[in-house]
Structure formats: structure tokens, C-alpha cells
């Protein structure tokens, strides 16, 4: 299973960086996995979620792609999604920001 990052792809990207106590990092990763599989993945416009574990133990990042800003904002009003987000926010401080891909650079130029 893989996600692609590409200039001009028809997605918006939500990068959510969570700051978490190291004792709760594992639990937060599992919560985000479960929320994605049980709820987010089935919502209109969901494209991908990519959960990252900080090497410092104190952060978790979700790099998520949605088909449009409207689809992402509709997710925020979904009761099941809100339920999971409330649990995440009780465990960690979230910093979600919405982006467009500006440029992609690779070593090999491909």
C-alpha cells in the first residue's frame, strides 16, 4: 500500500502534527489507525492517511489527502469523526494545517 505526492494532483493535503506525552505515543498511533479504518476511509472524498511516528517519542503526524477542501470540511462535521477527534485531542495537542503541493523534488529527477 503506498501513497503518492504529486504536483497538480486533485487533492488537498491535511498535515496534522500531534504533540503527545511519550507514554501515549503508541496509543495515539493506534487511535489514528482505527479512526482511519473505521470512519475516515469510508467518507466521501477520502484519498489517503499516512500515520508517522516521531523518532523523538513526542510527536505523531498524519499526512492525509482529501479530494477537496469541501470533502475535508464535511468530515469535520461527521459525528463519528468528531468522536475520534475528541479522543485524540484528549491525549495530545493537534496542529492541523491544510496545504496544496507546491513542488516535488527527487534525487533522480523522476
Instruction: Give the footprint of a second copy on this chain (CB under 8 A).
Output: 1-7, 12-13, 15, 17, 29, 33, 36-37, 40-41, 46-56, 59-61, 63, 69, 95, 97-107, 109-110
CB of 17 to a second copy, least distance (A): 6
Measure Cα distances from 53 to 13, 28, 46 in Å.
Answer: 18, 10, 21
- Pick 54 or 87: Cβ nearer a second copy: 54
Residues 6 or more apart in contact with residue 15 via CB below 8 angstroms: 61, 62, 63, 64, 96, 97, 99
Q: Measure CA of the first residue to CA of the last residue in the chain; give whole Å.
A: 20
**Cα gap 29→83, rounded to integer Å:** 16
**Cα gap 36→43, rounded to integer Å:** 10
Amino acid at each position: 500500500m503506498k501513497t503518492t505526492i504529486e504536483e497538480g494532483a486533485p487533492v488537498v493535503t491535511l498535515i496534522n502534527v500531534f504533540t503527545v506525552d511519550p507514554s501515549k505515543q503508541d496509543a495515539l498511533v493506534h487511535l489514528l489507525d482505527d479512526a482511519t479504518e473505521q470512519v475516515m476511509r469510508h467518507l466521501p472524498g477520502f484519498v489517503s492517511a499516512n500515520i508517522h511516528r516521531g523518532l523523538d517519542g513526542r510527536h505523531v503526524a498524519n499526512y492525509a489527502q482529501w479530494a477537496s477542501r469541501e470533502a475535508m470540511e464535511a468530515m469535520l462535521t461527521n459525528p463519528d469523526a468528531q468522536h475520534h477527534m475528541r479522543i485524540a485531542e484528549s491525549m495530545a495537542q493537534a496542529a492541523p494545517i491544510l496545504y496544496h503541493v507546491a513542488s516535488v523534488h527527487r534525487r533522480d529527477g523522476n
